[in-house]
Structure 1
Amino acid sequence: MRQFYVFIKCELGRTYDVAAALVDQLEEARQVHSVSGSFDLLAQFSVESDADVGRFVTQRVQTLDGIKDTQTLLCFNAFTSDRGLGDD
């Protein structure tokens, strides 16, 4: 599976509507957080390893009502206590 995050800027007053749509309509959405700063939401997605992330974001995320802008962050490695940080 491929993990990535999308910062989402919403139309004024639509943040909770957009968050609900992400969770309800996209099974690939793992977590959706409200955040401070330039964006309103941070959503974590998980797709198949061979999925086209750009197409997913432009066709499935950006088309949801209430979204003004996005910024996508691709993940390279996940470092956890059981993988990637061991003392081998």
Structure 2
Amino acid sequence: MKTIFVQFKCSPGMAYGVADALVQEVEEISEVYSTSGHYDLIAKFYLSDDRDIGHFVTERLQVLDGVADTFTLVAFKAFG
């Protein structure tokens, strides 16, 4: 299982809509938070080992209505 975090820049006024769409439409999501700073949201996803991260982000996440930009982080190890 691979863990990735994706930050989302949303079109003005669309952050809550994007968060709702992520929760409703993307089964790989674990959680999503609104954030301050350069990005509006950050979400955690679990992907199967054979899943291509690039295809997942570009074909499932970047195409959601209201998503203006994404920034993806790949997690290597969880501590604690």
AA at the equivalent of 2:65 = D
Output the aligned Cα RMSD: 0.5
AA at the equivalent of 2:79 = F
Deviations 1:5-48 (A, max 9, x none): 00000000000000000000001010000000000000000010
State how 1:47-66 maps to structure 2 within 5 Å: 47-66=47-66
**CA apart distance, 1:58:** 0.2
Q: Computing the radius of gyration over CA atoms, which structure comes out larger, 1 or 2?
A: 1
Structure 2 stretches of 5 or more lacking a match?
Answer: none
Q: What is aligned with 1:3? A: 3
Percent identity among equivalent residues?
49
Q: For CA contacts below 8 A with separation 6 or more, give which structure has more relative contact order.
A: 2
Question: What is the aligned residue count?
Answer: 80
Q: What's the TM-score once normalised by structure 2's chain length?
A: 0.98
Report the 3-state secondary structure (helix = DSSP H, G, I; strand = E; otherwise coil) of the residue aligned with 1:8.
strand
Q: What's the TM-score once normalised by structure 1's chain length?
A: 0.89
Answer 1 or 2: which has greater strand percent: 2
Stretches of 4+ aligned residues off by more than 3 angstroms: none
**CA apart distance, 1:79:** 1.2
